[in-house]
A = this chain, B = another copy of it.
Amino acid sequence: MNVSPLQEARYEYTPKLPGMLRNGISEICVNEGEATQSVADQDRIRELFPNTYGKKEITFSKGANTSEAKKQVVGVILSGGQAPGGHNVVSGLYDALKATNSENVLYGFKGGPSGLLEDDYLIFDDEYIDQFRNTGGFDIIGSGRTKLETEEQFEVATEVCRKHGITAIVIIGGDDSNTNAAVLAEYMAAKNTGVQVIGCPKTIDGDLKNDDIEASFGFDTATKTYSELIGNIERDCNSAKKYWHFIKVMGRSASHVALECALETQPNVCLISEEVAEKKMSLSQIADQIADSVVKRAENGLNYGVVIIPEGVVEFVPEFSALISEINEMLAGSKADAFNALPDWDAKYAFISKGLSGESMKVFEILPQPIQQQLFLDRDPHGNVQVSLIESEKLFSALVGARLEERRAAGTYRGKYSPLHHFFGYEGRCAFPSNFDADYCYSLGYNAFMLIQYGYTGYLSKVSNLSRPADEWVAGGMPITKMMNMERRHGEDKPVIRKALVELDGAPFKYFAAHRGEWAEKTCYTFPGAIQYFGPSSVCDITTRTLALEKGM
């Protein structure tokens, strides 16, 4: 067997373009809007981007194509973690490029931005690209995490572009990669290299979102995949009636994924990191919140439930962050030697209790022993605690267990509590893109080429009105500098696209907050099931609840 029946069938799928891109290349004209300003720190950003700042927003519409008829040689790069739909960005880009001029060429740089620096590439043709249409993964050219940000890298990139006669680079990536795309665009313009740079908004985390980007691609498919599994587990839980499932979902710094999954599946509890930070919640407070649901449900004979935990939540708990900082400080450099020389955990524990502040020691004491040991024993090459390795689903289930035993002793809880643990992450990053992501990504790529063809640089491929059917989508571009502000990163002020965290006064969170009391006590589970690619539009073509709520639908 070479390809699965579904893959075979998905090859036949024709992604839907926004209405104004459906009339053929010769019928796409451009409309320029107002000149733009960055969302903050305008003077500073203008100064840093003298050649690309303040450009106009543009939208495409049906009309005679007035672009210059020159041969285009475009390079495309996939940057960072996989997100469903990446292959469709590439195929949309390729199709527009070839439809414009069959002599145009598309290079794919392999293994992420490093492929551009190392001149490691392939040249796309129909046969190759047809194997990847409407499929998941980034294996079409691979991806990587090299950051394109230094002057030296830009010089190398320029040289590679010159060698191949490349006229434009398309960077498909998250907030950092698009920030770097803007910096590269500015460099290319300043040096008069003749190379344009266009970005495309990717990330399953959903944190690349602002007034101009309604959704980053991949978020729809990834959250639908996790929601399928969470819903299945809810149904199992409601049938077996004997386990509390603690389910961690991917998404390190923002809780959009957890929140969307909660809106799709209505679990008993879902933690939202942004709320934890805003309310400065302690581990004990979080454990109590979950324990409250366990106790209330037990009173009604329901000794089971589902808790969703965003991957990065512990980093948002102030007292836990403080503990981590103290540990990093305590074992920095050669200070670790004395610790490492201690013979056993008891000796190490004594060392720790002497070294930590009273407040941090209180936090440390309530952690289950495997987590305590992990904090001290599994450190990265710089000696820092590897927060991303902390099994927070096990941490919280243990803390809740301890709370419940206290309540049992106090006579306020008589239930049974058997926790199970899950982590969903890798399962969702390379799923076959949903119809939404297949359409959206193909449109982003197609649109990216139209921006190139019309001579724009430093723009993000923008497709909006996404909560409506695809023929009503709006295609265009926005200067990346418009989305930027200055932020402190690694001790330096840098121009960056702001990471979008869950807004506690936004419609998605407010909907969740209005319903979670009922969900915590009763059983309100919903079961989304597997992503459907064929069948009723209500099942196959609807995007996220997050976007629907944001758009007031």
Contact call A2/B427, Cβ cutoff below 8 A:
no
| A326 surroundings in chain B (CB, below 8 A) | none
Query: Would you call B530 and A136 a contact (CB within 8 A)?
Result: no
Partner of A233, one of B264, B344, B426: B426
A137/B236 contact (C-beta < 8 A), A142-B241, A241-B142, A535-B533 known: yes
- Return the contact of A534 from the options B7, B233, B346, B536 (Cβ within 8 A): B536
- Nearest B residue (CB) for A529: B6
Which B residues touch A535, using CB under 8 A? Answer: 9, 532-535
Contact A431 B530 (CB under 8 A): yes
Stretch of A167-175, A186-194, A223-231, A397-405 that contacts chain B: A223-231
Q: Are B240 and A526 in contact (CB under 8 A)?
A: no
Contact of A530 among B137, B236, B531 (CB under 8 A): B531
**1/0 per position for A97-136, CB-CB distance to B under 8 A?**
0000000000000010000000000000000000000011
Q: Which residues of B contact A527 (CB under 8 A)?
A: 3-4, 6-7, 135-137, 432
Query: Does any Cβ of B come within 8 Å of A480's Cβ?
Result: no
- Residues of chain B within 8 A (CB-CB) of A1 are 266, 526
Contacts of A4 in B (CB 8 A): 231, 264, 526-529
Q: Kindly identify which residue among B139, B232, B245 contacts A239, using a CB–CB cutoff of 8 Å.
A: B139
A542 interface residue per 8 A CB criterion? yes
Residues of B within 8 A of A81 (CB): 240
Please measure, in the bound complex, the distance between the C-alpha atom of A264 and the C-alpha atom of B1, giving whole angstroms: 9
- Does A82 count as interface, using CB distance less than 8 angstroms? yes
| Min distance, Cβ A56 to any Cβ of chain B, angstroms | 36
In the complex, residue of chain B having the shortest beta-carbon distance to the beta carbon of A81: B240
Chain B residues near A428 (CB-CB < 8 A):
232
- The answer to the question of A143 belonging to the interface, with a C-beta cut-off of 8 Å to chain B, is yes
Is A76 among interface residues, defined by CB-CB distance under 8 A? Answer: no
**Residue in B3, B82, B526 whose CB lies within 8 Å of A236:** B82
Residues 1-47 of A contacting B (Cβ, < 8 Å):
1-10
The answer for the CA separation of A225 and B527 in the assembled complex, in Å, is 14
A468 contacts partner chain B, Cβ-Cβ < 8 Å? no
Q: Which residues of B sit under 8 angstroms from A82, Cβ to Cβ?
A: 236, 239-240
Query: Is A430 part of the contact surface with B, judged by Cβ < 8 Å?
Result: yes
Bound Cα distance from A495 to B68, whole angstroms? 84
Residues of B within 8 A of A534 (CB): 532, 534-536, 539-540
Per the bound structure, the CA–CA distance linking A538 and B12 in Å amounts to 14
A512 → B minimal CB distance (Å): 12
CB neighbours (8 Å) of A8 from chain B are 538-539
Q: Could you write out 15 A-B pairs with CB less than 8 Å apart?
A: A1-B526, A5-B536, A5-B542, A6-B532, A9-B539, A138-B240, A225-B232, A228-B431, A232-B429, A235-B430, A236-B429, A530-B532, A532-B533, A532-B535, A534-B540
A82-B239, A137-B235, A530-B530 are known contacts; what are 11 more A-B pairs with Cβ within 8 Å?
A1-B526, A5-B536, A10-B529, A81-B240, A82-B240, A138-B239, A138-B240, A139-B238, A142-B239, A432-B530, A532-B533
